């Protein structure tokens, strides 16, 4: 089926992205996985090459390009080399941190911080999740109280992607315990602020090169200029940015499913059993046919979501539909691809094995599948 999402400019961009990844990422990703950390110097080179931070306005060092199709190209090309730890770190910047900053920062904050993100010298993180508050954001216990013109931030966060590497962390905190959903605000916490303590780097089952951490805030004094957005509207800020985050998960999911499926199809034409390629077996052909069909159909939904997002029409409900369905499809496709590889699929030297464990988080972060269904169901029942 002819895919009509991209124009000539996007395919030219794809060539430059592919060249960058083959030069700067593919040779090093296994070492990053062994180290448990990506060499942060690669992000400065990535930003210089236009791999991310495209949406940063020109006056702050970016290109001011908001067409999400360029993000899709990056997702697809990173999936092609199976560098999912790198993919998540880039997505964290483009689909979360930078999206918040460009939307919510005032001019002074933009002048102060955006040039560093545009150059790749600053890395950000978003800290919402706590030990007792994941999908239920109103369960956040981290607090910020006024002290003169400053704020005093206290609490802890967990499962924070890029928590060790980050130079600037967006932290959600409760600022008025009596105000219900209007009692939360967002703050910008800078590296090495007194009282900001990074806990252990968490050991995950997948994405080993992508650092994930616990963060502690022990009476961190924040100047008034470190409030992000409007006081008391933190929860609303978080909710309004979820469609972009969930579109990002869908983009990574469909790109990874497609890339691993293509690798598996090629493997099936080369792997010989009973004197012929296993692709000659009807069961294998049926498996490939089913996966190819499912991926094509899901890809059409993601493409439509990208078009809707570019037009400013992607709703939280439609983003939630894509997030749960495509991430569940990714998990299902990779499981079947691993099965078709047989024993080799269980060997970490094969991309399908690494992608299999990296994929498992996709149905959890950004809102679990169960939460997505609940949100969609509420909307349908209104």
CATH for the stretch 125-233: 2.40.110.10
- When the pLDDT of each residue in the chain is averaged and rounded to a whole number, the result is 95
pLDDT at 329 over 70: yes
Give the start-to-end residue ranges of the domains of the chain.
8-122, 125-233, 241-381
Identify the CATH class of 241-381. Answer: mainly alpha
Please report which confidence band the pLDDT of residue 1 belongs to, taking 50, 70 and 90 as the band edges: low
Residue 214: C-alpha distances to residues 125, 145, 162, 167, 172 (Å) = 12, 22, 10, 15, 14
The whole-number pLDDT of residue 137 equals 73
Distance CA 10, CA 306 (A): 14
How many other CB atoms are there within 10 angstroms of residue 5's CB atom? Answer: 15
Query: Is the pTM here over 0.85, yes or no?
Result: yes
User: What pLDDT is attached to residue 141?
Assistant: 93
Whether 245 is a known active-site residue: answer yes
Of these residues, 77, 130, 214, 245, which one is catalytic?
245
Can you tell me the distance from the alpha carbon of 231 to that of 32, in angstroms, rounded to the nearest whole number? 39
40-50 average pLDDT score: 96
Number of Cβ atoms within 10 Å of the Cβ of 3: 9
**What CA–CA distance (Å, rounded) separates 298 from 303?**
9
Model confidence at 3, pLDDT cuts 50, 70, 90, reads confident
Fold of the domain built from segment(s) 8-122: Butyryl-Coa Dehydrogenase, subunit A; domain 1 (1.10.540)
Assess contact for 50 and 77: CB atoms under 8 A.
no
pLDDT digits (tens, 9 = 90+) for 265-319: 999 999 999 999 999 999 999 999 999 999 999 999 999 999 999 999 999 999 9
Contact assessment for residue 166 and residue 120, using Cβ atoms and an 8 Å cutoff: no
Compute CA distances 50 → 93, 110, 230, whole Å. Answer: 13, 19, 31
Q: What's the pLDDT tens digit per position in 116-157?
A: 999 999 999 999 999 877 666 778 999 999 999 999 999 999
Say whether 208 sits in a helix, a strand or coil: coil
Residues 6 or more apart whose Cβ sits within 8 Å of residue 153:
142, 143, 144, 171, 173, 187, 189, 195, 217, 219, 220, 221, 222
CA 141 to chain CA centroid, Å, is 24
Query: pLDDT tens digits, residue range 184-203?
Result: 999 999 999 999 999 999 99
Instruction: Find, among 71, 133, 72, the residue nearest to 98 by Cα.
Output: 71
Which residues contact residue 277 at a Cβ distance below 8 angstroms, ignoring those fewer than 6 apart? 268, 269, 270, 271
The pLDDT of residue 133: 72
Is the pLDDT reported for residue 363 higher than 80? yes
């Amino acid at each position: 089926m002819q895919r009509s999402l991209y124009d000539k400019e996007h395919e030219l961009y794809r060539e430059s992205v592919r060249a960058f990844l083959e030069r700067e990422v593919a040779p090093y990703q296994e070492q990053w996985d062994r180290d448990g950390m990506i060499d942060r110097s690669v992000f400065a080179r990535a930003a210089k090459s236009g791999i991310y931070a495209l949406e940063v306005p020109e006056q702050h060092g970016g290109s001011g390009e908001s067409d999400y199709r360029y993000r899709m190209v990056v997702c697809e090309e990173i999936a092609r080399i199976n560098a999912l730890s790198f993919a998540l770190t880039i997505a964290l910047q483009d689909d979360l941190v930078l999206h918040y900053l460009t939307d919510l920062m005032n001019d002074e904050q933009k002048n102060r911080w955006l040039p560093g993100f545009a150059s790749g010298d600053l890395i950000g993180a978003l800290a919402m999740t706590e030990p007792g508050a994941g999908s239920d954001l109103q369960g956040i216990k981290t607090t910020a109280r006024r002290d003169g013109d400053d704020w005093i931030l206290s609490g802890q966060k967990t499962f924070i992607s890029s928590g060790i590497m980050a130079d600037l962390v967006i932290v959600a905190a409760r600022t008025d315990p009596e105000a219900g959903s209007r009692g939360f605000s967002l703050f910008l916490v800078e590296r090495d602020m007194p009282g900001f303590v990074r806990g252990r780097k968490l050991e995950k089952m997948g994405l080993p090169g992508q650092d994930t951490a616990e963060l502690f805030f022990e009476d961190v004094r924040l100047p008034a200029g470190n409030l992000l957005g409007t006081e008391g509207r933190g929860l609303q800020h978080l909710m309004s940015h979820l469609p972009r985050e969930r579109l990002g998960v869908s983009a990574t999911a469909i790109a990874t499913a497609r890339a691993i499926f293509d690798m598996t199809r090629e493997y099936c034409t080369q792997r010989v059993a009973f004197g012929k390629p296993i692709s000659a077996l009807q069961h294998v052909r049926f498996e490939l046919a089913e996966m190819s069909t499912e991926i094509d159909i899901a890809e059409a939904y993601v493409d439509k979501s990208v078009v809707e997002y570019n037009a400013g029409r992607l709703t939280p409900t439609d983003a939630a539909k894509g997030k749960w369905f495509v991430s569940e499809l990714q998990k299902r496709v990779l499981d079947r691809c691993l099965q078709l590889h047989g024993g080799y699929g269980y060997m970490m030297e094969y991309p399908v094995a690494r992608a299999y464990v990296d994929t498992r988080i996709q149905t959890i972060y950004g809102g679990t599948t169960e939460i997505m269904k609940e949100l969609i169901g509420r909307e349908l029942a209104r």
